[in-house]
Each structure stands twice: as structure tokens, then as C-alpha cells.
Chains A and B, each alone.
Chain A
Amino acid sequence: MYWRNPSAWSPFEELRSLQREMNRLFDGYERGTALSRFPALNVWGNNERVVVTAELPGLEIDDLDISVVHNQLTIKGERQREPVAEDVICHRSERNAGKFVRTVRLPFAVENDKVAAKYEKGVLTIDLPRSETTKPKRIEIKTS
């Protein structure tokens, strides 16, 4: 699903198609669960930073592994299956457990040291500031 705001021009338009291709490339890399695209991600961006959010309820922070290389973000993790006591009968088991890996290509390289992640209410939010060296610099025009 892709959202498009027809009235706004987004500088990331071109990069979206590139991103889609990269996602396809990395999706088959490691398959932990039956779904090839888990977790679902929302990627927000502007010229200064990118924010990635994912719905990942019921995770322990220790079971989450987030890594960044240049402009690639990889989210790896595992949701543990809760042990069922002997005297318990389960009528329904819809919540899945297991490992997952997801790699997303970002529109620009980010400052690895300044990447911040928080996990609140079961939502993982990763804040990735743009790498200084990739920020567009205004070029002064000298007139003589």
C-alpha cells in the first residue's frame, strides 16, 4: 500500500521506486516467519531525518536487534512463544511467534551514532538523522 498526496511534491518520489526494489531484493534474504514482510513499517522523512515505526507488540527489548549500515536499516527480532501451563486449554491461538528480519533502504545515509530507537506501547520508533556529509549544501554565487 502506498500513500500519495497528489498536491505535494515529494523529493523522495524517485527514491521510492528504488526503495521498493531494494525491499524486494532483501525480502527473501532470511525467512523467519511465514509472512515475508513482517513487521509492517511506516517510513516518514524530510530533508533532515527519517523516522521508521513498526507495530511489534509483546516483545522483550533483548529480543530486538536494530542495525544501520550507511542507508540500510535492518530490524531483526524474535517474539517468544509464551509457555502454556498444563492445566490450560487453548481455544484460539492467533498471535504468532517466531523470528523476523526486515531490511529497509533509507533515502540517504544516516549518522549511525545518532540513531535512536524507542519501544513504547508495543510500537518501535527509530529516529535516524541524516549524515552531515550527505546534506545538500547551499552554494554561494559570487558576483564580481
Chain B
Amino acid sequence: MKDAKEKALEKVEHSEPELTHEGREYTPLTDICEKEDMILLRCDMPGVGDGQIDIRLENNELEIVGKQSADTPEGMDLMMGEYQTGVFRRKFSIPQLIDRDKIHARLHDGVLDVELPKADQAKPRKIQISTGG
């Protein structure tokens, strides 16, 4: 049994980036669909308001962060708590070339719709086959 002093001097190993904010991080359930000219993402992010979403596309990685508003009624005790509020965060690897200027996101009733239009080079181009001879 290690005594308290020994434990205090032990170096603690950490591999994950730690949270610097209150509340846990949650992974929003996401549907990913692809059309010929764009990629569509749809995330469930209940309790997140318009100004609380951050979407970043960097080096083919799309990161979506949404902060939930804590719905704590004043002057009341929590009698049964089956869920907590926190921050939604998820990273996606998007290998296709995306036209960044045309990325469009819409938040409606706690559902975030993200449209990532493919850059022209990424769209499939029909190659004409010429028949000859």
C-alpha cells in the first residue's frame, strides 16, 4: 500500500486533452449523407442556441462544437436527473475538397444541418467517350 506522500509525488500520466470548462463533453448523434455535389451532416444538439455553435474546417478535419444552455430552474431541487448538460463536440475527417466559402449551417429545434458543397475539382466529371473507327 502506497502511503499518501508517495502518491502525491507520483507523476500522473495523461494522454487525453483535458477539459477547461464546466460540464462534460458529449458526442452528438450524427447522420452523414453524400450527394453528388455536397456532403450533408445532421447532428442532434438539443439545448444549443444559435450563438453557441462553432464549426471549423481545417486540414480536411471538420470540428463541430455546441454548448448546451443549462436548463436549471431556479429555486428547485433536482429530484430525478437522467441527463446532464454540457458541450457537444465531434470531429469528422472530410477527405473531399470542400468549397469553404459555401459551407452552410442551419440550427433548428436542436438539430444542426451542415452543408459542405464540394469544390468543383471534387465533383465527378463525366468523361465523354468518343467512339471511333
Contacts and interface: CB of A to CB of B under 8 A. Distances in A.
Interface stretch (B3-11, B25-33, B114-122, B125-133): B25-33
Nearest to B38: A88
Contacts of B46: 55-57, 121-123
B79 A87 contact: no
Nearest to A42: B81
Contacts of B32: 90-92
A58 B31 CA distance: 13
A10 B77 contact: yes
A112 interface: no
A16 B82 CA distance: 13
Interface residues of A, number: 46
B82 A121 contact: no
Listed residue (B33, B35, B82) with the most chain A CB atoms within 10 angstroms of its CB = B82
Contacts of B72: 44
Contacts of A42: 71, 78, 80-83
B47 A123 contact: yes
B77 A40 contact: no
A41 interface: yes
Given A57-B111, A87-B35, A89-B35, 13 more contacts: A1-B81, A8-B77, A10-B79, A40-B82, A40-B83, A42-B78, A44-B73, A57-B109, A88-B34, A95-B44, A123-B46, A123-B47, A125-B71
